[in-house]
Chains A and B, each alone.
Chain A
């Protein structure tokens, strides 16, 4: 394989990346891979790919251009098969990006990532209100979580979700109904987990996909969404448990809207929010399936 073939194929691949990025950005499917705050970098990448591709294309055009003598030649393999297998590596992501960019992560990945409450030992579980009967049948396992002295000594330190999201906190405390949407999703979940008692008894509306931990009773699910801070590789699940007979008919990965009341339940000395269901219905998977971590650093300065 001669140098100008390499350059020609490289220019085509660079063009492929340009087209892929352009299409992902136009369709918004880029948000299935990265968080919106990263977008400026992708404008940069798009422009660079365009320039590099164009430049390589022109460079390839002048196939007979004398080698510039700076020994670039060595970086081009002369074996055709070897070269193509390397270029194949670049072609695969472009093609799979064009074909499968609608796909988003669901319950099967959530299982691997581990919903944070899955770790909690339920042997000491005691519940307030309605939940007590349904939890009896759960297996008892020995606690491996011992509170670390270091951690507890640090507990009484400064910033809590309440400090992070003061406006949302006030809003949630004053209103009778808590409604989660794309923008307040992460803050609301954080606040509910931090202070479940404060919000107990309020009615709540939440949308998300259905997800079950292996140790859950049949009548319990997590309504959750993936929260992304930079790219989907760092996605973590944010959700709330919900309990009620109605959930039995809903399979994992079904998108649902849940109406209910916030209750609290003790799991291994952790007070957790849990929704007592009043109604549940299936919804279409939203265009934007993930929620994104938006850091407002100004709230950190006190």
Chain B
């Protein structure tokens, strides 16, 4: 009983706090000695910018996921996806290429598709290809590398190949195992088709999902903000030229920076002066497929071991393909 009264009380205090801050936040004087240091403020600003930027896309993803939940039947999926696991990769890349969905939004969508019966490896192809194989990303890369448009073409080409290989390897590793956390699966059996309140239900689902994912987003954004504020780019840049160390350094950078795939090309172009084109491509292909923020987001829905092997497979595949590319071009 006490804890229940306490919960309600906290809720009201919070409500009051938010309203006070909303109305008078700017007027609250923070004495200099209490105000946080420059570094903490920088972490906070970068943290908030990652969280804020991700929020509309998380919400979009959550809504698309709710729509799939309500309107897509398992039969629909089965009709479009070939039974042969290898052939099934083709429509997956097509889905990935058509939907201009960024990496935050794709997580709840893929999770829902898998829960609806999409084979796991097909889902993984969609997960890794959608954020990079899309028209917006192509245009921003083309713009950021105006003087070397081959970067944009190669980014799309390599992403295509790597996405297929990731799907294939994940199939070989897990076949048709269920990668979702058990408790999440129970939600999926659906019984509301008769309900007239589909929209209310959609909003409730969306809200629950926002809170499920939000905590992972916030932790991921915070870690990425810490790295952004304290990591010296020069350290990684110093090794950016080696045949092996270059791509490794740039992939490491892509992983920890956790940039949105629409914007990462501009950041990559600032590394142009001190790294090789292959390393730039490693950065551009690897980052959207997997990064620190997204790894943590994946933990929201997928089993920990599965996430770990996915990260491993993506890393290994990207690195190998980049090495091959480097040898031939």
**CB–CB A74/B11 < 8 A:** no
Instruction: Evaluate contact between B146 and A86: CB separation under 8 angstroms.
Output: no
* Closest B residue by C-beta to A86: B215
**Across the two chains, which residue of chain B brings its CB closest to A107?**
B38
Contacting B at CB under 8 A, from A44-78, are: 44-45, 48-49, 51-52, 55-56, 59, 68-72, 74-75
Q: Which residues on A sit within 8 Å (CB–CB) of B50? A: 231, 233
Flag whether A130 is at the interface (Cβ < 8 A): no
SS of A interface (majority): helix
| B257 and A52 within 8 A (CB) | no
The answer to whether B7 touches A157 (Cβ under 8 A) is no
Residue B250 at the A interface, CB < 8 A?
Answer: no
Q: How many residues of A contact B (CB 8 A)?
A: 98
Q: How many A-B residue pairs have CB under 8 A?
A: 259
Interface-facing stretch out of B113-121, B198-206, B310-318: B198-206
CB of A140 within 8 Å of the partner chain: no
CA distance A114 to B219 in the complex (A): 26
Q: In the assembly, what is the distance between CA of A231 and CA of B257, in Å?
A: 13
- For the complex, is A91 an interface residue (Cβ under 8 Å from B)? yes
**Residues of B contacting A: mostly:** helix
A264, chain B: closest CB distance, angstroms = 18
Q: Is the CB of B18 within 8 A of A148?
A: no
Binary per-residue interface labels of chain B (49-60) against chain A in the complex, 1 for a CB within 8 Å, 0 otherwise:
111110111011
A109 touching B241 by the CB < 8 A rule? no
Q: Is the CB of B7 within 8 A of A100?
A: no
Measured between beta carbons, the chain A residues less than 8 angstroms from B48 are 33, 93, 96-97, 101
- How many B residues have CB within 8 A of the partner chain? 96
* B319: min CB distance to chain A, Å: 19
- Interface residues in B10-62 by Cβ distance below 8 A to A read 10-11, 14-15, 17-19, 21-22, 25-26, 28, 30, 36, 38-39, 41-42, 44-53, 55-57, 59-60
B208 at interface, CB cutoff 8 A: yes
B139 within 8 Å of A by Cβ?
yes
Please report B residues at the A interface, Cβ cutoff 8 Å: 3-4, 6-8, 10-11, 14-15, 17-19, 21-22, 25-26, 28, 30, 36, 38-39, 41-42, 44-53, 55-57, 59-60, 63, 139-140, 142-143, 146-150, 183, 186-187, 189-192, 200, 203-204, 206-208, 210-212, 214-215, 218-219, 224-225, 228-234, 237-238, 241, 257-260, 262-264, 266-267, 270, 273-274, 276-278, 329
16 sampled A-B residue pairs with Cβ under 8 A? A10-B207, A12-B18, A23-B25, A34-B53, A45-B55, A52-B203, A86-B215, A89-B215, A119-B274, A144-B241, A148-B276, A232-B45, A233-B228, A233-B258, A234-B263, A300-B142
- Residues of A near any B CB (own CB < 8 A): 1-2, 5, 8-10, 12-17, 19-24, 30, 32-34, 38, 41-42, 44-45, 48-49, 51-52, 55-56, 59, 68-72, 74-75, 80, 84, 86, 89-106, 108-109, 111-114, 116, 118-120, 144-146, 148, 150-151, 154-155, 157-161, 163-164, 229-234, 236, 293, 295, 297, 300
14 more A-B contacts (CB under 8 A) besides A15-B15, A44-B56? A71-B186, A80-B7, A90-B215, A103-B45, A105-B46, A108-B39, A114-B233, A114-B237, A151-B148, A229-B266, A233-B49, A233-B263, A236-B266, A295-B139
What are the 8 tightest A-B residue pairs by CB atom distance, in nearest-first order? Answer: A41-B56, A230-B263, A232-B49, A231-B53, A98-B21, A5-B7, A159-B146, A234-B263
